[in-house]
Amino acid sequence: MAMKYMKKSFSKMEPYHSALITDGIVINANESPYLPPKKVIDIINEEAKKIEFNRYPDMDERELDAAIAKHYGIKPTQVTVGVGSDELLDVMFRCVLEPGDTVLGFSPSFSMYQVFTELVGGTYIPVYGDQNMIFSIDTMIEKIKEYKPKMVLICTPNNPTGQFIEEADIRRVIESTDALIALDLAYIDFAKCDYAKIALEYDNVISFKTFSKAMALPSIRCGYAISKEGNIDMLNAVKAPYSVTTYSQIAAKAAIDNFDLYKDQIEKIKNTRDVLYKSLKEMGFNVYPSESNFLYVLMDKKYYDALTNNKIYIRRFKDGVYRISIGTDSDNKAILEVLKNA
Ligand code: PMP
């Protein structure tokens, strides 16, 4: 049966699937190659024993909000938690946009921004980079003046190109408009600094972060937003009640309480990234500088095919355009070996 009950405006949508790969090197989803630190896992396992399975989770995620607030030195009322940052982004789009409203975002960027925009009948306007695919803040500010969007999405470091936008440039965008600026900081723990807290200095900014990347916990589906109380209340007003499970709240709290223990593995991923970047450059590949846990590479399809045939699974956007998530040093060796032979 085709999607018989799907409304007309959604008829082009397709179910989203991803292959379940159990064998080989899986570096297609920007996951960490490492488990969380042992102490974090031990705390999660201990706390999980105390879960009252017959009770709903704490709807207001009080302990987790407090732990995130403590980490940043902010108030728990300036934080909310969702089922991945995906849930909170989705909620924000539904809260802010009326059908026909415009959203701006750099392109290429996280594909869900366009999906969320179109789900509520908005129009997504991509702002492209220069010939080297470098995004320009001046261009973004010009486009904001031209299109007068309701919302602007900025992913930094950007998925999939890896570009980090400096705090001063982010402030220029924020101060140029009344539009809501969504700062997607999913990968910022791999960059030189985390400026999530600037959301508290302005009325028009929400920062989004996730436990799925540097915190190595995509399995628990947990992300959070930081903003002034009014924006946090807006998200909480529309978010599904009890969406974040008790287990996720426990696990995320264990991670953020022990953020310092992640420092070594984050450094390791950054080093592995820099080694892979340098090696690919030396081999003549068209690879982009990245402050994240992935590299964006434009290369002939034959290299992608060779990697896949050797059970090394990277992300393909279209023929010639790929993203390699950073794995271990031995993953690097395997990748480089295959590419050399191809
Ligand atoms: N933002 C960006 C830029 C991402 O790449 C992702 C994950 N692919 C997300 C948000 C969503 O992450 P999660 O829902 O796992 O928190």
Q: Check pLDDT > 80 for residue 159.
A: yes
Which of 280, 315, 322, 278 has the alpha carbon at shortest distance from 300?
A: 322
Average pLDDT score over residue span 227-232: 98
Q: Is 31 helix (H, G, I), strand (E, B) or coil?
A: coil
Residue 210 Cα to ligand 1 midpoint, Å, equals 7
State if residue 116 touches ligand 1 by the CB under 6 angstroms criterion: no
CA nearest neighbour of 187 among 101, 83, 290, 86: 290
The verdict on 195 and 273 lying in the same domain is: no
182 has pLDDT over 90: yes
- With respect to residue 181, please indicate whether it lies within any of the assigned structural domains: yes
Ligand 1 atom, smallest distance to 83 CA: 14
What's the CATH code of the domain at 326? 3.90.1150.10
**Measured in angstroms, how far is the CA atom of residue 220 from the centroid of ligand 1?**
13
Domain range holding 300? 17-36+262-341
332 lines ligand 1 (CB under 6 A): no
d(CA 204, CA 96): 12
Whether residues 252 and 336 fall in one domain = no
Quick one: 204 and 327 in the same domain?
no
pLDDT digit string, tens, across residues 7-38: 888 888 888 887 788 899 999 999 999 999 99
Is the Cβ atom of 85 under 6 angstroms away from ligand 1? yes
Does residue 333 surpass a pLDDT of 80? yes
| Pocket mutation for ligand 1, best pick of 86, 244, 290 (most atoms within 8 Å of C-beta) | 86
Question: What pLDDT, on a 0 to 100 scale, did the predictor assign at position 286?
Answer: 97
Q: For residues 47 and 171, state if they share a domain.
A: yes
CA of 218 to the centre of ligand 1 (A): 9
Domain-embedded: residue 9? no
Asked if residue 225 lies in contact with residue 210, where contact means CB atoms within 8 angstroms, the answer is: no
Q: What is the mean pLDDT of the chain?
A: 96
Is residue 300 located within the same domain as residue 194? no
Q: Is the CB of 78 under 6 A from ligand 1?
A: no
Same domain, 242 and 309: no
- Looking at 257, 292, 327, the residue that finishes a domain is 257
Structure tokens at 136: 């320009």
Query: Structure tokens of 16?
Result: 């989203």
pLDDT tens string 55-103: 999 999 999 999 999 999 999 999 999 999 999 999 999 999 999 999 9
Q: How many domains is the chain partitioned into structurally? A: 2
Q: Tell me the mean pLDDT in the region 122-135.
A: 94
Structural contact between residues 319 and 299, judged by C-beta atoms closer than 8 angstroms: no
Could you say which of 212, 235, 257 is where a domain stops? 257
176-195 mean pLDDT = 98
172 CA → ligand 1 middle, Å:
25
Instruction: Tell which one of 68, 114, 115, 184 to mutate to probe ligand 1, the residue whose CB is within 8 A of the most ligand atoms.
Output: 184
Q: What is the DSSP annotation of 58-97?
A: -TT-HHHHHHHHHHHTS-GGGEEEESHHHHHHHHHHHHHP
Distance CA 72, CA 210 (A): 14
Take atom 6 of ligand 1 and give the residue whose Cα is closest. 186
Angle of helix 301-309 relative to helix 329-341, nearest 10 degrees?
Answer: 120
257-273 residue pLDDT tens = 999 999 999 999 999 99
Nearest C-alpha to atom 13 of ligand 1 is from which residue?
Answer: 84
Q: Same structural domain for residues 225 and 309?
A: no
Q: Which two tokens stand for residue 41?
A: 């896992």
Distance 30 CA to ligand 1 centre (A): 9
Task: For ligand 1, say whether the CB of 161 is within 6 Å of any of its atoms.
Answer: no
| Residues above pLDDT 90, as percent of the chain | 93
pTM: 0.97
Task: Find the 341 Cα to ligand 1 centroid distance in Å.
Answer: 34
**For residue 86, which atom of ligand 1 is closest to its CA?**
14
What distances in angstroms separate CA 228 from CA 59, 151, 233, 234, 269, one per listed residue?
A: 20, 16, 9, 10, 32
| Residue 176 and residue 244 in one domain | yes
Q: Does 220 contact ligand 1 (Cβ within 6 A)? A: no
Give distance in angstroms: CA of 37 to centre of ligand 1. 21
Closest CA to 254 of 6, 33, 43: 43
